Amino acid sequence: MQKYRTLIFIAGLAILFLSQYKLIMPFVYKVVASDLFLVNSKDQSSQVPITTPLSNLAFMHCNNYIKDELGTDKTVIFPEKPLNAWTLGNYQYLISAEFTVTNDKADTTKKKYACRITYNNGDNEEGAIDFSNWSIIGVSGFKDM
């Protein structure tokens, strides 16, 4: 058995490679090509910045989230519109904006942030004003204050 250890190892690798190539990958390709991951929604993704009523609401909700996270000891001023807003499709938005924050020592700082937010009700836009219908996926740029 000691003599054939290398041969058995090479044969095992060959069997593993062939099963990956002939069995597993064709199955993966069929699953990816199917409608399993297809999401039908009216909201299509865009590579260019957009301005829509929902993107404006997403900007407002991101601002409110940041204001709540920073607390009451800091004064936060947000602009009227974001620097950029993109739709990622299926009511997911990426907001890039900036804000000015003044702490209790009267130090003023201008910060940029990025916020990824999702509207949970899909095509039903009736509850878009209510923050409980949105999910903040992540915000960067303000935690180091």
What pTM value is reported for the model?
0.72
How many domains does one find in the chain?
2
Give Cα 64 distance to the centre of its chain.
Answer: 18
Name residue 92's beta-bridge partners: 89, 118
130 in a structural domain: yes
10 in a structural domain: yes
CA–CA separation, 98 and 66 (whole Å): 11
112 φ/ψ sector (left φ>0, alpha ψ -120 to 50, else beta): beta
* Domain that includes residue 2, residue range: 1-38
Question: Do 4 and 70 reside in the same domain of the chain?
Answer: no
145 in a structural domain: no
Question: Do 22 and 63 reside in the same domain of the chain?
Answer: no
45 in a structural domain: no
> pLDDT by residue for the chain (145 residues), tens digit each?
677 898 999 999 999 999 999 999 999 999 888 888 777 777 778 888 988 889 999 999 999 999 998 888 888 999 999 999 999 988 999 999 999 988 777 788 899 999 999 999 888 888 889 989 999 999 998 666 5
Question: Do 27 and 94 reside in the same domain of the chain?
Answer: no
CATH assignment at residue 86: 3.10.450
Question: Do 23 and 62 reside in the same domain of the chain?
Answer: no
Largest CA distance in the chain: 79
47 in a structural domain: no
